[in-house]
Structure 1
Amino acid sequence: MAERVGARESESTEEGPDLASRQFHIQSKRFYVDVKQNPRGRYLKISEISQARGRDRITFPMSHVPAFRDHMRQYVDYLSENEAKTPDGGVLKQTDYTANDRRKIFFELRENERGRFLRIFYDGNYGTKSSVAIPGSGVSQIHEAICSLVEELGSEDHALITQDTVPDSLQFLAEGKKFYFDPGSNQRGVFLRISEVQRSYRNSITIPHSAWEEFRDMLTHFIEQMPYQGPSSRGDDLEDI
């Protein structure tokens, strides 16, 4: 069963704190599935800790995680559909694919006297290999944790923007209505909430940051097509909040 873990201090200042973490005890090993953030952006780290091997880990930029998750799914399905122990053991299934950063990621499902395990590895820096070996009984748990973290935090590499760094809210009055422009941020990114307020009701729309320029261009198009001829409501009515 997964345990939610608070923001742990990282092993180095380069890694930065956890944004979210899941911890598992599988057989004699501990596994951490963490989303971390450093100056280069956000990434997923899977760590395996055991007395025999110490600590092993693999890391991926968040934008790569959906492809990794989807590839891992076939091993979850294989283990579910092929539960019986094979007489010969050895390699049961082996695949690889190329990540969007051109690394080749290898999956190798093996079986020995201790049972089945999934080894995931790739060539690291300076000729080393980064790898983890997940017992077969825990592959589904690790996969579910990855799915939930992507659902919770999204799969963008960018560093999370805090509420302190977004622009200030603005408001103005026009034809008896107040219009509020409230930028904000959450775990999915930056957004702008535009609200139309009268005494009896309030209507709002939320525009993700990725659509701001297109929204502006659409509005500019209609302004140019039908310029307003009446008195302007801009100027002194525009207020910081």
Structure 2
Amino acid sequence: MSDSEHRNKKGGNEDEIASKLISVAYKRFYVDVKQNTRGRFIKIAEMGANHKSRVVLSMSAASALVDKLEGYLSFHDTTPEDPKREETTDLMSDILNFETRRYYLDLKENSRGRFLRLAQTSSLPRPSRSQVAIPMVGLKEIKECIADFISKFGEGYMDSNSDLMDAMTLKSELGKTFYFDANQNDRGSFLRVSEVKSASGFRTSITIPASSLTAFRKVLTEAIEKLNIDKTDVEA
């Protein structure tokens, strides 16, 4: 593992403030602090044998990620792994929302062990998705590196999260998970409902303005009545 800080190396329109290489099994992860005209941010890049992927976090998003990772590490330390597990299984999930970016945290386990998939989606300038997969054996070191960089370089670059409530999760028996999270932008408050297919990880979502939620609930209630869904089915 190598570590280089305070390099102020320019790459395109970005200044590199600090960088650290963390080797985990057959993968290499670079955690970088960079700065451009929009502010200072942290980039996590995964370098595999035949691919490179990355996620970008504002200092505030990185701070929220560190808080979440503490819970994942605690879960891992107190919950034994299943060495006989064959299919990839979801163990924990979270969503973080910051302006035009959303971050999906999914702790998974398969026959090769546990890993955290951190995915980033962005709506601007065009819809995009990127992700990194971090083996649990390296997650603590990456978390501590991010926390250290925030402590050293985050002052003056933190902003408030625009979340209005903690994300809620609903799992169905059909291999799907639904996420509900409220947020706001310059056009007002809204609720985003995301559907995630466990097998493929494919995600789709709809956005409902807060002003339409009451009417939306009314339509759902009518649909439940017309489909003859009794109270037991709804609670299940």
Whether TM exceeds 0.5 here: the answer is yes
- Corresponding residue for 1:4? 3
- Corresponding residue for 2:73? 76
Contact 2:107–2:117 (Cα < 8 Å) also in 1: yes
Contact 1:122–1:131 (Cα < 8 Å) also in 2: yes
Percent of residue pairs bearing the same amino acid type: 29
Q: Deviations over 1:100-157 (max 9, x none)?
A: 3153321111122322111000213533311110011011111111111112222532
Q: Which shows bigger deviation, 140-149 or 86-95? A: 86-95
Secondary structure of the 1:78 match is helix
Q: Equivalents in 2 of 1:86, 1:92: separation in Å?
A: 15
Q: Deviations over 1:185-241 (max 9, x none)?
A: xxxxxxxxxxxxxxxxxxxxxxxxxxxxxxxxxxxxxxxxxxxxxxxxxxxxxxxxx
Higher strand share: 2
Q: Equivalents in 1 of 2:38, 2:127: separation in Å?
A: 23
Q: CA deviation at 1:82?
A: 2.0
Q: CA deviation at 1:9?
A: 4.6
- Corresponding residue for 1:107? 105
Residue 36 of structure 2 corresponds to residue 51 of structure 1? no
Which TM-score applies when normalising by structure 1?
Answer: 0.57
Letter in 2 for 1:74: G
Q: CA deviation at 1:50?
A: 0.7
CA distance 1:37–1:86, shift in 2 (3 Å): same
- Corresponding residue for 1:223? none
- Corresponding residue for 1:34? 32
Q: Deviations over 1:49-70 (max 9, x none)?
A: 0113x11000111132211211
CA distance 1:13–1:81, shift in 2 (3 Å): same
Contact 1:58–1:131 (Cα < 8 Å) also in 2: yes
Q: Equivalents in 1 of 2:130, 2:156: separation in Å?
A: 23
Q: CA deviation at 1:8?
A: 7.4
Secondary structure of the 1:99 match is strand
- Corresponding residue for 1:239? none
Q: Which of 83, 87, 96 matches 2:84?
A: 87
Residue 95 of structure 2 corresponds to residue 97 of structure 1? yes
Contact 2:83–2:113 (Cα < 8 Å) also in 1: no
Contact 2:93–2:107 (Cα < 8 Å) also in 1: no
For residues 179-194 of structure 1, what are the structure 2 equivalents within 5 Å?
A: none
CA distance 1:40–1:102, shift in 2 (3 Å): closer
| Aligned residue-pair number | 154
Structure 2 unaligned residues grouped into runs of 5+:
159-236
- Runs of 4+ aligned structure 1 residues displaced above 4 Å come to none
Q: Equivalents in 2 of 1:111, 1:155: separation in Å?
A: 36
Which TM-score applies when normalising by structure 2?
Answer: 0.59
- Corresponding residue for 2:16? 18
Secondary structure of the 2:34 match is strand
Tell me which structure has the larger Cα radius of gyration: 1
Q: Equivalents in 2 of 1:119, 1:27: separation in Å?
A: 16
Contact 1:119–1:134 (Cα < 8 Å) also in 2: yes
CA distance 1:98–1:117, shift in 2 (3 Å): closer
Q: CA deviation at 1:86?
A: 5.1
